[in-house]
């Protein structure tokens, strides 16, 4: 927005309202995504046990989780910057950002391995992704 809208006090206040709305949406979408990941874990474990009745549900959840994950990331990446960057020492936000690197890599690996890789590696990537994403959600709440 900054190339289009000049940065002044009034516009910065609008920017901060937009930032707040985007970060609230980031949180809500994060919980939705975590729930979808849990559903994928349940259906995925059934697939590993030989129960293929839920394969389509697992596939549909994968699509939904990928969309909600992308939307969640977009809300964070494209939110206007904070007024003051206090991210110099270890904090809940800093931990959240570090975990984001882990779960982003895990999401990419999970999707690539779903198509091309061994099932055991797909499962390991999915568990790592779920654990780091869940930890990222929890880290903000404490």
Q: What is the pLDDT of residues 8-28, one digit of tens each?
A: 778 888 889 999 999 999 999
Comparing CA positions, the residue from 97, 81, 64 lying closest to residue 22 is 81
pLDDT tens per residue across span 50-101: 999 999 999 999 999 999 999 999 999 999 888 777 767 888 999 999 999 9
pTM to 2 decimal places: 0.89
pLDDT at 128 over 90: yes
d(CA 92, CA 138): 9
Domain ranges for the chain: 1-85, 86-142
């Amino acid at each position: 927005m900054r190339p289009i809208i000049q940065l002044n006090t009034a516009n910065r206040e609008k920017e901060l309202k937009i930032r707040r709305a985007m970060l609230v949406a980031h949180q809500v979408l994060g919980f939705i995504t975590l729930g979808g990941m849990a559903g994928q874990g349940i259906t995925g474990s059934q697939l590993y046990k030989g129960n293929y009745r839920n394969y389509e549900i697992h596939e549909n959840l994968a699509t939904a989780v990928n969309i909600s994950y992308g939307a969640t990331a977009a809300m964070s990446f494209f939110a206007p910057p904070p007024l003051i960057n206090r991210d110099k020492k270890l904090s809940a936000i800093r931990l959240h950002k570090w975990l984001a690197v882990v779960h982003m890599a895990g999401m990419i690996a999970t999707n690539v391995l779903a198509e091309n890789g061994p099932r055991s590696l797909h499962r390991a990537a999915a568990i790592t992704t779920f654990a780091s994403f869940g930890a990222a959600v929890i880290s903000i709440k404490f």
